[in-house]
């Protein structure tokens, strides 16, 4: 009998719902201090997760400054705009 592998769960910083890790985007603060969208889920750095229906959850996280507190850095408006456009392109 094969063992079923446990699927890791993560919490969305926008809506605070727990979901499978693969169903979320990972936003990463790289060791260089740059904030980027990690599509592989394996980039080095501090990460925070947002639902794949992302634009609404990104807006909630932005309003409450949750990404900034989770990544422990100030995030410029240009980075939020880039994240929105990348998420919209994936949908």
Q: Do residues 64 and 72 make contact, with C-beta atoms less than 8 angstroms apart?
A: no
CA pair distance 14, 18, nearest whole angstrom: 11
Query: Which of 47, 87, 40, 17 shows the shortest CA–CA distance to 9?
Result: 17
The 10s digit of each residue's pLDDT in 46-85 is 999 999 877 899 999 999 999 999 999 999 898 899 888 8
Q: How confident is the model at residue 19 (pLDDT cuts 50, 70, 90)?
A: very high
Please report, for the chain, the start and end positions of each structural domain, with discontinuous segments joined by +.
9-90
Phi, psi for residue 48 in degrees, rounded to 5: -140, 150
pTM for this structure? 0.87
Range 9-90 classified under CATH 3.30.1230.10 = yes
Q: Residue 48's pLDDT is what?
A: 95
Model pLDDT, residue 91: 65
């Amino acid at each position: 009998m094969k063992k079923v592998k446990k699927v890791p769960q993560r919490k969305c910083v926008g809506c605070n719902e727990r979901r499978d890790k693969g169903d979320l985007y990972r936003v990463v603060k790289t060791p260089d201090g740059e904030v980027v969208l990690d599509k592989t889920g394996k980039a080095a750095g501090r990460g925070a997760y947002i639902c794949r229906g992302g634009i609404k959850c990104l807006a909630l996280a932005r309003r409450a400054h949750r990404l900034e507190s989770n990544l422990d850095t100030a995030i410029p408006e240009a980075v939020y705009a880039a994240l929105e456009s990348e998420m919209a392109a994936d949908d």
